[in-house]
Amino acid sequence: MGNLYRFVEPVLLLLLRRNGPSCGYELAAKLPTLALTDASIECAAPYKTLRQLEESGCVVSEWDVGEAGPARRIYRLTPRGEQHLREWIVVLGNMAQSMRRFVRVASNRGPASERARTRPQASIRRKGTTSHV
């Protein structure tokens, strides 16, 4: 079903923008609330994606070694991450429009299917004969 990790990326960026600095476990727990797919997402996907986002400069992380419990890696959105989220918003908006059009056409409910039903027959000329398509 393609690379579902790509659909995890914008959600993590949005969660960091909305909630501020967060640990991977918190982000993974909130991921289903904004998931862009109904397919199940591997439990490692958010962590792998956060690592990729950090490598590309979209997030930074630091260890929280508080007194209670084990150390946690806290992620924070960078200005580059804010820009990347804005890019995702444009891409996903275009994709949503294309998907609506596809569903409408595939369901024979849209303007494209209506044009196809009412389109005049085209004529093809072949050496002295005319056939209709």
**41 domain residue, yes or no:** yes
> What's the mean pLDDT in 47-72?
92
**124 domain residue, yes or no:** no
pLDDT at 93: 95
**128 domain residue, yes or no:** no
**125 domain residue, yes or no:** no
Confidence tier at 133 by pLDDT (50, 70, 90): very low
Which structural domain range is residue 16 located in?
5-109
Please state, as a whole number, how many other Cβ atoms lie within 10 Å of the Cβ of residue 8: 26
**87 domain residue, yes or no:** yes
**129 domain residue, yes or no:** no
| DSSP, res 78 | -
Q: Find the helix or strand (DSSP H, E) in which 53 lies.
A: helix 45-55
**80 domain residue, yes or no:** yes
Instruction: Lowest mean pLDDT of 13-17, 31-35, 83-87, 107-111, name the range.
Output: 107-111
> What's the mean pLDDT in 116-129?
50
Q: What is the pTM of this model?
A: 0.75
pLDDT at 2: 44
Residue 131 has pLDDT above 50, yes or no: no
**122 domain residue, yes or no:** no
* β partners of residue 129: 126
* CATH code for position 90: 1.10.10.10
**Closest by CA position to 17, among listed 91, 92, 77:** 77
pLDDT at 128: 52
Domain count, the chain: 1
> What's the mean pLDDT in 21-35?
93
